[in-house]
A and B are shown apart, each in its own frame.
Chain A
């Protein structure tokens, strides 16, 4: 079967390798430039003792390359739609399944080989793209500490491997269930996108209980490492937490509804006087966040989730292929 699959996918593989190589070259060149700029900046800020504010004075990357890096978000979806989607569906649609299934290999063998190689290809390509992006992001991560943010988290580390494996499995399963390529592509794209958005914006933050810190309204939030801040706001004297009021050095921002600056502090002469007044009345600031050291645990949890979903989809596909007529 391996030979047959290679024969079926060698053109696609060649195209994928060519695109990956071009991508690698672009990121290698710009990545080396960024690394040099980062090391030079570090060396000079060490002399002038300005390393604490480096993020404000140095910028790394460039518009097009940053866009390219963000675009790697769609790599798994492409694998799912164009690698996984047609794998079973196209053979059913063109009837070649009847040809393949009357050779001297069982359907299980046929599907195991096909799904196995496609999943492996998804994992390898997804992993290579993620590896390149992770290496390229090294200086940016060191500078901005933003790798835990949605968008960056999703293209670095090992999660892209999980996404790619899941997308391929989803494509294969959708193709086997629906039996036609085009609807299978659409369903794969739609379901993948929906699930990724749901996990990114509603599920991921609950992988581990978030940490909440309460601090004085006269201070700035200072957290070490690449934290992922989920919410920031004010603790009212009553003990109630609200995100509709934000107080900190140099700013007081209140929402159109919800708590306002107390009347007793509104007469203050300056904004800092207002803040001091609020601190005296018992106002505090709070921040809810996932600490930076949880980056890798989160990567493993999310990757594991998607790989487990992929396994379930592949199991469904085996049942469908065994039960259904060609």
Chain B
């Protein structure tokens, strides 16, 4: 099956800063993909390139089989929610539903009303007077009412309290369960990702570090705990993502390139999503900062 979202060598430079470098990813249909990375890693840039709000400096992006472009038929398939949740603050939710009805071919205003009604969010108040959580819900409902095939959400839950966050992600999961929807959701809250997402894209320093189904990624990695000693043998067989050495033991996050064959002094354990995310993000951190020594060798 061809992926719904695919990029190759996608690069975006602003004057001097490279926001995204040689980004190659692929997201199959029906996934909820978590786009993870530290601040400034290029998450927003990637989402904006995919939505057609920004144009790449180099490389290519394909969404639903074509480059993001100024074409009503393409735009109709994309749901985009920017980080700052921009809505017309003086207009009511009902006004926004009206705008959507006038600007989109398949508009499901009723579903938005029903969804927001369930959450007891008033439709007749200016959006600017709603709370941050309510505004995010309104924006998500509007984005879903467009009935897109691809949903690009930029840190939609960052500003929400834990309860609102759970509501929001539940709404999203319901929408995906209805079928036909592929989502990329940027976030830096691992707990939310673990509950909602089945695909992961990890960006750091404007580069892709990981991209794949969460299950596959977890099975490809192991945590090895062993004595403090030479790890050359392991590094020869596998890719050490991160090494954490204390006086008594060494903890390695490795990407397996084959079966794990180590001496009895090493103990291999499964990784969690959090291990993976923090491991790769840590690997990217400045090696000079303390004990968190890193060994390169990213793919």
A residues near B (Cβ < 8 Å) are 1, 3-4, 7-8, 94-99, 101-109, 322-323, 325-326
Contacts and interface: CB of A to CB of B under 8 A. Distances in A.
Interface string B52-85: 1111000000000000001111011011101010
Contacts of B75: 102-106
Interface secondary structure of B, over-half rule: loop
Contact of B98 (A7, A106, A322): A7
B113 interface: no
B84 to A, nearest CB: 5
13 contacts: A7-B91, A7-B99, A95-B86, A99-B88, A102-B75, A102-B78, A102-B80, A103-B100, A103-B146, A104-B73, A104-B103, A108-B70, A323-B55
B176 interface: no
Contacts of A96: 86-88
B98 A98 contact: no
Given A4-B99, A7-B99, A104 B105 contact: yes
Interface string B88-106: 1101000100111011110
A106 B55 contact: no
A106 B102 contact: no
A95 B84 contact: yes
B89 A95 contact: no
B78 to A, nearest CB: 6
B48 interface: yes
A3 B102 contact: yes
Contacts of A322: 70
Contacts of B72: 104-106, 109
Contacts of A4: 99, 102-103
A104 B84 contact: no
Interface of B: 48, 51-55, 70-73, 75-76, 78-80, 82, 84, 86-89, 91, 95, 98-100, 102-105, 146
Nearest to B79: A102
B51 to A, nearest CB: 6
A4 to B, nearest CB: 5
Contacts of A325: 48, 53-55
Nearest to B104: A104
A298 B182 CA distance: 62
Of B51, B86, B95, B105, most buried by chain A (CB within 10 Å of CB) is: B86
A103 B103 contact: yes
A104 B82 contact: no
A107 B80 contact: no
A95 B91 contact: no
A94 B89 contact: yes
Given A104-B103, A106-B75, A325-B53, 13 more contacts: A1-B103, A3-B98, A4-B103, A95-B84, A99-B82, A99-B86, A99-B87, A101-B53, A103-B75, A104-B75, A107-B70, A322-B70, A326-B54
Given A4-B103, A99-B82, A326-B48, A104 B88 contact: no
Nearest to A8: B88
Taking chain A's interface residues, is the majority helix, strand, or loop, or is none over half, making it mixed? helix
Nearest to A90: B88
Nearest to B49: A325
Given A7-B91, A7-B99, A94 B71 contact: no
B271 to A, nearest CB: 36
A105 B70 CA distance: 8
A1 B102 contact: yes
Contact of A106 (B71, B100, B146): B71
Nearest to A322: B70
A102 B78 CA distance: 7
Contacts of B80: 98, 102
Given A106-B75, A326-B48, A98 B86 contact: yes
A303 to B, nearest CB: 34
Counting from the closest, the 4 A-B pairs by CB-CB distance are: A95-B86, A103-B103, A325-B54, A104-B76
A326 B71 contact: no
B75 to A, nearest CB: 5
B9 to A, nearest CB: 19
Interface centre among B70, B76, B146, by most chain A C-beta atoms within 10 angstroms, is B70
A290 B188 CA distance: 73
Contacts of A326: 48, 53-54
A101 B68 CA distance: 12
B234 to A, nearest CB: 45
Nearest to A102: B80
Contacts of B48: 98, 325-326
Nearest to B142: A99
A86 to B, nearest CB: 12
Contacts of B51: 102
A104 to B, nearest CB: 4
Contacts of A101: 52-53
A4 B101 CA distance: 10
Contacts of A99: 82, 86-88
Given A96-B88, A98-B82, A103 B104 contact: yes
